[in-house]
C-alpha cells in the first residue's frame, strides 16, 4: 500500500506519526507531495483525492482512503499493537471524544487562523479574511487553555493512557509554530505533555 504524505502538514503528519508509533513505517510505501508547489492540485493526484487533500492511502486493490483519522483507523485494525484507539467501548469512546475535540476545537481553529492570516497561505486561501483569522485565533487560544487545565489533572488526554488523541495534540502544538505561537511553551501542562509525547515518538 502507498501513503501520500506531505511532511510538516498537520493532517498527513498525523497518519505518518500514528504509523510510526506502531513501529510500522516500513509497511507502507511513502510518496511525498508538495502542497506549496501545488502537486496536490494536479489531475493525476485528484484521481486519488477528489478534494485535492493530503494524506491519501491507496491499498493494493486500488481502494483509496482519505481523511487522516480514517487512515489511522485502518492502520489500527491492521496493526493492533500497540493499541492507540481504545481496547473496549469505554476507552474507544473517550479516546475518540478527546481526539475529535483536539481536531475540531484546536487544530481546525488554528488552521483557519493560519490560512486566513499567513502570507504563505494567500495562494491557497482566496480571499484571506482577517476577521475570520482573529476569531479563530481566539477560539484556538481559549481551547488550548482548556486542554492545559485538563492536563493538569491527567498525564494523558484520554482513558489514562497514550493514544491517538495525544499524537493529534502534540502535532497540532508543533504546527502552531508557523504563527509564532507555542502553546506548549506558554502553558505548563501542555508543555509537560508535549515533552512526553515527543520522547515517546522519538
Ligand atoms: N479532514 C482531512 C483534511 C486534509 C487536509 O486539509 N490536508 C491539508 C494538509 S494539512 C491539505 O491537503 N491542504 C491542501 C489545500 O488546502 O489546498 C484529513 O483529516 O485528512
Ligand 1 lining (C-beta closer than 6 Å): 6, 9-11, 35, 40, 52-55, 67-68, 124
The model scores a pTM over 0.75: yes
Q: What SS3 string covers the chain?
A: CEEEECCCCHHHHHHHHHHHHCCCHHHCEEEECCCCCCHHHCHHHHCCCCCCCCCEEECCCCCEEECHHHHHHHHHHHCCCCCCCCCCHHHHHHHHHHHHHHHHHHHHHHHHHHHHHCHHHCCCCCCCCHHHHHHHHHHHHHHHHHHHHHHHHCCCCECCECCHHHHHHHHHHHHHHHHCCCHHHHCHHHHHHHHHHHHHHC
Task: Return the residue whose CA atom lies nearest to atom 14 of ligand 1.
Answer: 53
Return the CATH number of the domain spanning residue range 89-201: 1.20.1050.10
- Look at residue 202 in the predicted model and tell me its pLDDT: 86
The pLDDT tens digits of the residues spanning 19-56 come to: 999 999 999 999 999 999 999 999 999 999 999 999 99
Per domain, the residue ranges of the chain are: 2-78, 89-201
- pLDDT > 70: what percent of the chain? 100
Q: What's 2-78's CATH class?
A: alpha beta
Task: Return the residue whose CA atom lies nearest to atom 1 of ligand 1.
Answer: 67
Ligand 1, residue 66: give the atom nearest the CA: 20
The pLDDT tens digits of the residues spanning 87-114 come to: 999 999 999 999 999 999 999 999 999 9
The pLDDT tens digits of the residues spanning 119-139 come to: 999 998 999 999 999 999 999
- Look at residue 27 in the predicted model and tell me its pLDDT: 97
Amino acid at each position: 500500500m502507498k501513503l501520500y504524505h506531505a511532511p510538516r502538514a498537520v493532517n498527513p503528519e498525523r497518519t505518518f506519526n500514528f504509523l510510526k508509533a506502531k513501529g510500522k513505517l516500513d509497511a507502507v510505501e511513502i510518496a511525498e507531495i508538495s502542497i506549496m508547489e501545488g502537486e496536490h492540485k494536479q489531475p493525476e493526484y485528484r484521481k486519488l483525492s477528489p478534494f485535492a487533500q493530503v494524506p491519501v492511502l491507496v491499498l493494493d486493490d486500488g481502494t483509496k482512503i482519505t481523511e487522516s483519522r480514517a487512515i489511522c483507523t485502518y492502520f489500527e485494525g491492521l496493526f493492533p499493537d500497540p493499541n492507540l484507539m481504545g481496547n473496549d467501548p469505554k476507552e474507544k469512546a473517550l479516546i475518540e471524544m478527546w481526539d475529535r475535540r483536539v481536531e475540531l476545537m484546536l487544530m481546525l481553529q488554528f488552521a483557519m487562523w493560519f490560512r486566513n492570516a499567513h502570507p504563505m497561505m494567500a495562494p491557497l486561501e482566496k480571499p484571506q479574511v482577517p476577521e475570520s483569522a482573529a476569531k479563530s485565533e481566539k477560539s484556538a487560544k481559549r481551547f488550548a487553555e482548556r486542554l492545559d487545565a485538563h492536563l493538569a489533572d491527567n498525564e494523558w488526554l484520554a482513558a489514562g493512557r497514550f493514544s491517538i488523541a495525544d499524537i493529534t495534540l502534540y502535532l497540532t502544538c508543533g504546527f502552531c509554530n508557523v504563527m509564532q505561537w507555542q502553546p506548549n511553551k506558554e502553558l505548563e501542562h501542555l508543555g509537560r505533555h508535549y515533552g512526553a509525547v515527543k520522547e515517546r515518538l522519538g
